[in-house]
Amino acid sequence: MSGTSPGTAVIETRALSKVYRDFWGRQKVRALKALDLEVYQGEIFGLLGPNGSGKSTTIKLLLGLLFPTDGQALVFGKEATDVSKNERIGYLPEESYLYKFLNAEETLDFYGRLFDIPAEVRKERIEKLLKLVGIDRARKRQLREYSKGMTRRIGLAQALINDPELILLDEPTSGLDPIGTREMKDMILQLRDQGKTVVMCSHLLADVQDVCDRIAILHQGELKELGRVDSLLTVEDVTQVRARNLSDDCKNELRDVIQRHGGDLLEMDNPTTTLEDLFLSIVRDSEERPGRRVVGPQSTAGGDTPAPPATAN
């Protein structure tokens, strides 16, 4: 989505809050505090945060599995509590709860029947998905014989059986080896290329940095940072220069000297930090100064039209 204007907002949350209460109705945990987000059609959006930051609560609110205490969550323009919108959603939970005595074909056929997919379409889709996730050769093995990595793969295939427009992925690379991780990230990028919208939660920051267009960082239920990955990671007050074919005399000189000495200027821009450094900095700052929001004017999915900054109640 780089360089394009933002599309339709697939997900909108407006001052979305969730409080868990004890048996007596007293506030036990405020899991989410006035979350304002928009996720646009055709982008990969990363939802990051330490354990207990509100990521899973947000996903459950979007799926309609929880009811908000305050605020509103809209998916495809409908209230998140409207279960009819779930026909257009694919969901891969952190732990896939699948029937262990079914094989891969039977598993996908079972979930395809739940969506009332016609038999011929179901068969064609199962073939395509088994090849997409790389378990075509293990299609007849019962899932109880699968490794965790293979279970993640069949879980992704199950999440895609209804050809969803919005895909919610919770720790999609968990349990995968380096090759499987790369393949999973390539599949996520391929889904975006097909025009689908992907929201992924992950603790593996390098994975998010590789595939996400925009990210939101949550800490203690509050939105702490929101924006495009490339913009957030740019170090604004430092300039780096990459060039080739330079003599020793001009290596330490500036742009005009490089041009005067016949060098090829390959790059002169701001270096970037890593998502890990950004994430740790935000979490530490939040712990030192609770309640402080570091969210400023943000780039939208395309980077052309600024989105309004998030605010807390």
**Any domain includes 137:** yes
- Among 141, 162, 183, give the residue marking a domain's end: 162
**Any domain includes 196:** yes
Q: List pLDDT tens digits, range 92-141.
A: 998 878 899 999 999 999 999 999 999 999 999 999 999 999 899 999 99
Q: How many domains does the chain have?
A: 3
Query: Does 209 share its domain with 278?
Result: yes
Query: Does 267 share its domain with 298?
Result: no
In 3-state terms, what secondary structure has residue 151?
helix
Query: Does 313 share its domain with 203?
Result: yes
Rg (CA), the chain: 22
**Any domain includes 82:** no
Query: Does 148 share its domain with 295?
Result: no
Q: What is the dihedral of CA 197, 65, 53, 43, to 10 degrees?
A: 0
Query: Does 130 share its domain with 258?
Result: no
**Any domain includes 87:** no
**Any domain includes 14:** yes
**Any domain includes 40:** yes
CATH number of the domain at 48, please.
3.40.50.300
Q: What is the pTM of this model?
A: 0.77
d(CA 301, CA 306): 9
Phi, psi of 184 (to 5 degrees): -65, -45
**Any domain includes 262:** yes
Alpha helices in 199-254 (DSSP H): 205-211, 229-233
Query: Does 7 share its domain with 35?
Result: yes
Q: Cβ–Cβ contacts within 10 Å for residue 156, how many?
A: 24
Query: Does 42 share its domain with 137?
Result: no
Query: Does 173 share its domain with 72?
Result: yes
- The type of residue at 235 is V
d(CA 158, CA 169): 12
Query: Does 288 share its domain with 221?
Result: yes
Domain enclosing residue 154, as ranges: 98-162
From first to last of its 313 residues, what are the pLDDT tens digits of the chain?
A: 443 446 789 999 999 999 988 778 777 888 899 999 999 999 999 998 888 888 889 999 999 999 999 999 999 999 999 989 999 999 999 887 889 999 999 999 999 999 999 999 999 999 999 999 989 999 999 999 998 888 999 999 999 999 999 999 988 888 788 888 888 899 999 999 999 999 998 877 888 888 999 999 998 889 998 888 888 777 777 777 777 776 777 767 666 777 777 777 667 677 677 777 778 788 878 777 766 555 544 444 444 444 444 433 3
Q: List pLDDT tens digits, range 128-164.
A: 999 999 899 999 999 999 988 889 999 999 999 999 9
**Any domain includes 90:** no
